[in-house]
Amino acid sequence: MAFPITRLRRMRKSEPLRSLVRETHLTPENFVYPLFVCPGTGVRKEVRSMPGVFNLSVDEAVKEVREAHSLGVLSVILFGLPEKKDEIATGAWANDGIVQQAARAIKREVPDAILMGDVCLCEYMSHGHCGIVEAAPQSLGAAVASPPAAATEYEILNDATLELLARTSVSLARAGIDIIAPSDMMDGRVAAIRKGLDEAGLANTPILSYAAKFASGFYGPFREAADSAPQFGDRRSYQMDGANFREAMREIELDLEEGADMIMVKPAMPYLDVIAAARERFDVPLAAYQVSGEYAMIEAAARNNWIDRERVMMESLLSIRRAGASIILTYYAKEAARLLG
């Protein structure tokens, strides 16, 4: 029936009524809290472009996980800042790598925490790219030890990178990482990682694939936090073109065929349509990453008193949940959990 019989405002006149008919709900269990782990002791260095986000030494990371856990945020994802970088990302797969150290320490102190390990090589590569770099065809076979003069002088080698990704995944799982989360966007990485885990006796370790990761301007602050900016060129030759919706569906489908247990869309708010379509099409757990640029914009606007910070923070998270993501990676995990009570 139409107005005046039908009046949708009837169910909006009070908070109890609005709560009664609310369709989408956030809980702390929905959140995954990203942490940046660095060498040292007692280190808590704020990221300039991400107020309230810190590079943390292992002991400080343990404290963060313990606090998040007490608020109901049961999952964290770890990113590492190694002491040294090289052309084969040794710090990513070394037994004593920074994330491996953090995983062992966290599991000792907070054994029930769900630890996700970001599997990408950019933080560990001297050149900042997500895979092995090779010089241009005229000098094929030579690894790039210093930045080439122009973007045409190098190539990111897909197949050669897969072995390092698998090796990193096995190392992380052995250190106590519960969920392997590859974010590199190399073709075939999920199959390579699944094979590596299975052959290492880690068949029960699930994979959360960054299946549709777009080449985005929203990653800028993260690259400061993780010290992972590419030293030359960009990542558009392997991360997705933001114009391609149908290709995103293909990427997701291929990763599931290769053995992914869960999928992720990144960034979140600029790609809510992709999240919604993935939710309709694929019957697997779906994650979305509210990335550093999304966080930084909210923080900057709030500091200028242009927005209500808490309200916009919660509204942004609700929009991601409403689009269909049951898992939300967000730097607001602790704060949102406190507000949800």
Query: pLDDT for 76-124, tens place per residue?
Result: 999 999 999 999 999 999 999 999 999 999 999 999 999 999 999 999 9
Q: For residue 172, tell me if it sits in a domain.
A: yes
Residues composing the chain: 341
Tally of domains within the chain: 1
pTM: 0.93
- Could you tell me the residue range of the domain that residue 94 belongs to? 24-340
The number of beta carbons lying within 10 Å of the beta carbon of residue 28 is: 21
- Distance in angstroms (rounded) separating the CA atoms of residues 288 and 310: 20
pLDDT higher at 148 or 155: 155
Helix, strand, coil abundance in the chain, percent, nearest 5: 45, 20, 35
Residues 6+ apart with CB under 8 A from 257: none
- Distance in angstroms (rounded) separating the CA atoms of residues 56 and 59: 8
Pair 166, 195: CB distance under 8 Å: yes
**Strand-strand pairing, 286-289 and 262-266:** parallel
Q: What is the pLDDT of residue 152?
A: 55
Which residue in 151, 80, 142, 148 sits closest to 117, CA to CA?
80
Q: For residue 17, tell me if it sits in a domain.
A: no
Amino acid at 233: G
Q: What is the pLDDT of residues 168-223, one digit of tens each?
A: 999 999 999 999 999 999 999 999 999 999 999 999 999 999 999 999 999 989 88
Give CA torsion, residues 141, 165, 241, 295, to 10 deg: -130
The mean pLDDT value for 58-65 works out to 98
At residue 123, φ and ψ (nearest 5 deg) are: -70, -20
- Distance in angstroms (rounded) separating the CA atoms of residues 141 and 152: 16
Q: For residue 92, tell me if it sits in a domain.
A: yes
The band of 230, judged by pLDDT with boundaries at 50, 70 and 90, is: confident
Return the DSSP state at 153.
G
Alpha helices in 21-76 (DSSP H): 58-70
Q: What is the pLDDT of residue 231?
A: 82
The band of 49, judged by pLDDT with boundaries at 50, 70 and 90, is: very high
Q: What is the pLDDT of residue 331?
A: 98
Token representation of residue 307: 């927005």
- Distance in angstroms (rounded) separating the CA atoms of residues 217 and 215: 7
Residue 310 has pLDDT above 50, yes or no: yes
Residue 166 has pLDDT above 70, yes or no: yes
Share of the chain above pLDDT 70, in %: 95
Which residue in 69, 63, 81, 80 sits closest to 31, CA to CA?
69
Mean confidence (pLDDT) of the chain: 93
Q: What is the pLDDT of residue 93?
A: 96
- Distance in angstroms (rounded) separating the CA atoms of residues 253 and 260: 9
Q: For residue 11, tell me if it sits in a domain.
A: no
In this structure, what CATH number is given to the domain that contains residue 87? 3.20.20.70
Q: For residue 197, tell me if it sits in a domain.
A: yes
Q: What is the pLDDT of residue 150?
A: 45
At residue 219, φ and ψ (nearest 5 deg) are: -90, -5
H or E segment and range at residue 110? none
- Distance in angstroms (rounded) separating the CA atoms of residues 64 and 110: 11
Q: For residue 15, tell me if it sits in a domain.
A: no
Q: For residue 4, tell me if it sits in a domain.
A: no
The mean pLDDT value for 246-273 works out to 98
Which residue in 50, 17, 227 sits closest to 122, CA to CA?
227
Q: For residue 35, tell me if it sits in a domain.
A: yes
Using CA atoms, how far residue 144 sits from 129, 133, 157, 246, 276, in Å, is 11, 6, 11, 34, 40
The mean pLDDT value for 328-334 works out to 98
Residues noted as catalytic: 213, 266
Pair 113, 65: CB distance under 8 Å: yes
At residue 316, φ and ψ (nearest 5 deg) are: -65, -40
